[in-house]
Structure 1
Amino acid sequence: MTSTNSQTTAELCTVLDRVQAAGHDDGSVTVADVQHIAGDRGSGPLLLVPGLLAVSPLSGIPSVPTIIGVIVLLVSVQIVLGRRHIWLPQKIRDAGLSARKVDKAIAYLRPVAGRIDRFATRRWAWMTSRIAVRLASLVCVLIALAMPVMEVIPFSSSVAGLVITVFGLALMTGDGLMLLSVFVLFVAGLGLAVPLIW
């Protein structure tokens, strides 16, 4: 593996480390902290971190899926509109979790993050076109709008979180295969959700 690929595929674990460090610095991790961590990575971490939280046991806490949905909706709509810099209301930027809860979630997610980092790399550039990214963002908009309902459908928020996480990581790494996976996972998730709803 080349050094360039090593830097690319360390993204997820690096983001988790920085999120955890932010919590240890002041006792909590806010959305503003995540936005600061994102830096020149753009919108990727702003979708990745909420997506990871939705996959983790924290999604079982009442109202957490709804808050995640609001953040994902705001970020995804701005990606669809082609904004380079993501704006979030101050109330959303101030929302956060205690360092203890973040540590617990990251301990749960780190083994998965390590496996994903070994898989993710920059490839299939044709699949990372502006149109593909905006279509994937529309998928995340639909998921975000459904997040409040997912609070009462078992495991649905975890499936939604997986789709959002994969999209965030695809944006960060430029991985076209992962971007394609967003659409595959979304269709698979619909196949699981429809029988539960009906």
Structure 2
Amino acid sequence: MSALVCVARIGAAHGVRGAVKLWTFTEDPFAIRRYGPLLSKDGKRQFEVASAREAKDHLVATFKGVTTRDEAERLNGIELYVPREKLPATDEGEYYYTDLIGLAAVTTDGEPLGRVVAIQNFGAGDIIEIAPPKGPTLLLPFSNAVVPEVNIAGGRVVIALPQEIEGEDEGEVPPPGRPGLVRKAHGSRDP
């Protein structure tokens, strides 16, 4: 089975007939209905969307076989996945997070930095997390300036390490997720 990509997360029960709040991570929230059965992270459970309607900042959805509030409450917090090959192709300069995880990270001079272990987004933009062989992980903006090259086929990303971050004392490491450090310049996205 190919890599699984998280496309939604089930929230609290909604009403008494088995509906749930559903947060989708897809460009089109209703795309989750086109992917076929959705899987739990371990791939052992399948969920099929029976109905979905738009709410304020999420969908209200029902799943086949879930008809009571108690059943819906037991689903709260489950992340829903689809196999990577079911997702649409990306445009140039766009990447699914799962495609980047595990790539080697090298400097612009070709020196190894480590491996990409995660792509984070705390609201200010995407952050690439790189685990070096020793020491703490690096959290860097996933921008064209810092990540000038992504070569998925070649298994690597090139990192232009920032020399100085404005407003920081020399040698001081900025806190992760600090607004203003990250901008979404690559157009990366989850499905």
Q: What TM-score do the two structures reach when normalised by structure 1?
A: 0.23
Answer with 1 or 2: which has the greater Rg.
2
Q: What TM-score do the two structures reach when normalised by structure 2?
A: 0.23
* Higher RCO, 1 vs 2 (CA within 8 Å, ≥6 residues apart): 1
Which has the larger strand fraction? 2
